[in-house]
Amino acid sequence: MTACSSKPEESHLADLPVLPPQPLDESPDGVRMIEIDGGHKVWTKRVGLGKTKVLLLHGGPGATHAYLECFEKFLPQAGIEFYYYDQLGCGFSDKPNDTSLWKLDRFREEVEQVRSKLGLENFILYGHSFGAMLAIEYALKYGATLKKLVLSNMTGSIISYETYIHELRTKLDPGVQDKLESYEKDGKYDDPQYEALVSQYLDAQYLCRLNPMPEPVERSLKQLSKPVYKTMQGPNEFVITGNLKNWDRWNDLPKIMTPTLAIGARWDEMNPVDIEREAHIMAHARYAYCPNGSHMCMWDDQASYFQQLVPFLKA
């Protein structure tokens, strides 16, 4: 009897993917706590394995990674490895009681420390809303580390945002406008009735148009860090009084040489025309439009969103 050859088995083994070694401080489910300046720790989690690596920056400021969980349905299947990351003061990360930490420049440096300790080189940085603002700041200083950049649902300045949100507000019923102004005049931003008005006439129309809102979105909103949000943004999306109020990068966007995808949506609280303008003035950018989406178009217009995002990440 002729002995069986081992060559077919050797050929089969040779075709198996070679997986990188798991970092010693990474849990079996991909979680790593990254120590940053000040001795604080921030939470990260790797999802999937692949040559294309993406770091996600959530919005808020002060939200959590939770509302980006829909990415798990689309990116790993395309061979894309991505990293959740709760910024300091948010989600599973440390929550120091020090409002002096809630500054854009410090968050930018935090991203660089996270990037370095995760070992990401020539990677893709994705930012949504405030996360896109943070991504712009990062790209302007650390663009050499980037392969690509995604700016989702963020205009080039807070002034542009305020102009458009005021325009949306003037379209409300005059009685609703009067009620909002009455609460705001008295500084009653935490009044449940005022918060209900903002939720009904802003959040349900321009934040996420799904009813009910997806559970991860609800979870992220419930876990919103009020110290971070109020220090940087203000009382709510209608009223901007925080330290981001004067942020403006329109004149600096052309300096970003990284290939970029700028994503806007029809029902966004950010003017989609402004976001298209971003793509036009940046050297190597393209514009993606979600005709049925809002600020959370990764949820309420998933077909348009991921059909444009995934090929850009993979190309």
CATH number at residue 51: 3.40.50.1820
Catalytic residue among 40, 58, 93, 129: 129
Q: Which two tokens stand for residue 228?
A: 């971070």
Whether the CB-CB separation of 36 and 110 falls below 8 Å is answered with yes
| Average pLDDT value for residue range 228-248 | 94
pLDDT of residue 27: 80
**Over pLDDT 70: what percentage of the chain?**
92
Nearest residue to 116 (alpha-carbon basis) of 38, 25, 55, 47: 55
294 phi and psi angles, rounded to 5 deg: -115, -155
DSSP strand pairing (41-47 vs 52-57): unpaired
6 phi and psi angles, rounded to 5 deg: -90, 0
Separation in Å, CA 301 to CA 262, 263, 285, 292, 298: 16, 12, 22, 6, 6
- Domain span at residue 151 reads 28-314
Residue 271 pLDDT > 90, yes or no? yes
Say if 109 falls within a structural domain: yes
Say if 298 falls within a structural domain: yes
Reply yes or no on whether 129 is catalytic: yes
Residue 18 pLDDT > 60, yes or no? no
Residue 309 pLDDT > 90, yes or no? yes
| Average pLDDT value for residue range 277-304 | 98
Q: Return the higher-pLDDT residue of 71 and 12.
A: 71
Q: Return the higher-pLDDT residue of 8 and 65.
A: 65
Separation in Å, CA 314 to CA 56, 80, 124, 159, 296: 16, 8, 10, 34, 22
Residues 292, 181, 131, 215: is their CA dihedral positive or negative?
negative
Query: Mean pLDDT score of the chain, rounded to an integer?
Result: 92
The total number of residues written for the chain in this structure:
315
Separation in Å, CA 89 to CA 44, 61, 62, 301: 13, 10, 7, 30
**Confidence band of 23 (pLDDT split at 50, 70, 90):** low
Say if 245 falls within a structural domain: yes
Reply yes or no on whether 268 is catalytic: yes
Say if 10 falls within a structural domain: no
Count of structural domains within the chain:
1
Whether the full predicted model's pTM is greater than 0.85, yes or no, is yes
Say if 266 falls within a structural domain: yes
Catalytic residue among 86, 203, 268, 301: 268
| Average pLDDT value for residue range 282-308 | 98
pLDDT of residue 24: 61
Say if 154 falls within a structural domain: yes
pLDDT of residue 258: 98
Say if 9 falls within a structural domain: no
Give the model confidence (pLDDT) of 157-174 as tens digits.
999 999 999 999 999 999
Please, where are the H alpha helices in the chain? 7-15, 104-118, 130-142, 158-170, 174-185, 192-198, 215-222, 226-232, 272-281, 297-300, 302-314
Say if 2 falls within a structural domain: no
Residue 14 pLDDT > 90, yes or no? no
Separation in Å, CA 261 to CA 213, 275, 304: 26, 10, 14
**Confidence band of 29 (pLDDT split at 50, 70, 90):** confident
280 three-state secondary structure: helix
| Average pLDDT value for residue range 76-100 | 97
| Other beta carbons less than 10 A from residue 101's beta carbon | 18
Catalytic residue among 86, 128, 295, 300: 295
Partners of 83 in the β-ladder: 46, 55
Reply yes or no on whether 295 is catalytic: yes
Residue 93 pLDDT > 60, yes or no? yes
Tell the residue number behind the tokens 């019923």, with chain if given. Answer: 173
